[in-house]
Amino acid sequence: MQAIINKVERLSKFLNVFAGIAITFIMFLTVIDVILRYFRRPIVGTYELVGFSGAIVIGFAVPLTTFLKGHMLVDFFVLKFPRRIRNTVHIVTRLLGIGLFSLLGWNLIKLGMDLYRTGEVSLTLQLPFYPVAFGIGVCFFVQCLVLIVHILQVIGNTYE
């Protein structure tokens, strides 16, 4: 079981590297654009690039954030329950999450295929939309793996 957990963690960290690169790109692009606007030479397509990169940041950071339990969690009520009920609540919520993220991932892959088939691109830079849809769809399937790991940890009494 620990081997599976380690592989899912490595995969989540790998995806998070892309999120880090994208947020760094947003930061540098925005700073350079602001400076160049002062000289009346804005960067064309900044809005589109920031939008694409923002989607990448959010989608690619979700699996590692979930793996590390970095999301806001209000569980003061659940913590008052006995361990068995608490574990049941954890498992049920993870199963609901798996259902949600698998539907989201599948629909994003379908959307990416439609965007690829129609050749839809952004207005200014003519960048295709489909790679972002495919990437986030894949990340949501990795999110499902992370939630499965959480369930395995609850069953193995190693969930913290």
Domain layout of the chain by residue ranges: 2-155
The length of the chain in residues reads 160
Rounded mean pLDDT of 68-84?
87
SS3 state of residue 26 = helix
Rounded mean pLDDT of 35-49?
96
Is the pLDDT at 71 greater than 90? The verdict is: no
Q: What was the pLDDT predicted at 158?
A: 86
Q: How would residue 77 be classed by pLDDT, with cut points 50, 70 and 90?
A: confident
- Which stretch of DSSP H or E encloses residue 66? helix 46-67
Q: How would residue 75 be classed by pLDDT, with cut points 50, 70 and 90?
A: confident
Structure tokens at 121: 């691109």
Record the pTM: 0.93
